[in-house]
């Protein structure tokens, strides 16, 4: 086979450190644009991104030449540095150390997009922690509660 081809969708989820409510409406649009550009520069085109005050969901296509951990590290590092320059209220901003990255089949992309789009409505009744635990369970990921949150 003369060329390497891949189309891998990743649903990426991570929180602000200690689930602080830093991601307000005043910064949200610019943050999404900045993060999307960061991922796009890594050849990881963003399909959809949405956040509420304490966490963010991103659906993107993983480049065939980059590890998930590298893409996540870069987007978190760059966006954290950028956010800290946007206002004095964000100077102490930090993302949580970990993240959740879940594979998405082509046929499930529309459902994941709908889920990401409806975050505000979804979180009227569910906390981020409850949502994240449910995602881990749905994807069959075993975890130790002591090490999931920071």
pLDDT per residue, tens digit, the chain (150 aa), is: 578 899 999 999 999 999 999 999 999 999 999 999 999 999 999 999 999 999 999 999 999 999 999 999 999 999 999 999 999 999 999 999 999 999 999 999 999 999 999 998 988 899 889 999 999 999 999 999 888 888
Is 14:150 a contact under the CB 8 Å cutoff?
no
Pairing of strands 100-104, 55-62: unpaired
Q: Which residues contact 136 (CB under 8 A, 6 or more apart)?
A: 100, 143
Burial of 10 (0-12, 13-18, 19+ CB in 10 A): buried
**Sign, Cα dihedral of 111, 73, 122, 30:** negative
Residue 69: Cβ within 10 Å count? 10
Is 136:129 a contact under the CB 8 Å cutoff?
no
- The H or E element containing residue 120 is helix 119-122
- CATH of segment(s) 8-147: 3.30.70.1290
Q: What is the reported pLDDT for 1? A: 56
Alpha-carbon gap, residue 28 to 56, rounded angstroms? 10
């Amino acid at each position: 086979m003369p060329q390497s081809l891949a189309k891998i969708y990743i649903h990426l989820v991570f929180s602000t450190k200690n689930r602080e409510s830093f991601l307000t409406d005043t910064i949200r649009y610019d943050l999404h644009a900045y993060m999307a550009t960061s991922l796009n520069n890594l050849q990881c085109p963003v399909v959809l991104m949405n956040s509420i005050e304490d966490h963010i969901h991103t659906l993107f296509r993983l480049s065939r030449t980059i590890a998930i951990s590298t893409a996540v590290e870069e987007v978190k590092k760059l966006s954290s540095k950028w956010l800290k320059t946007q206002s004095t209220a964000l100077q102490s901003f930090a993302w949580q150390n970990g993240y959740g990255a879940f594979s998405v089949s082509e046929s499930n992309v529309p459902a994941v997009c709908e889920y990401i789009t409806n975050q505000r409505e979804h979180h009227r009744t569910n906390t981020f922690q409850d949502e994240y635990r449910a995602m881990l369970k749905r994807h069959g990921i075993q975890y130790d509660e002591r090490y999931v949150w920071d």
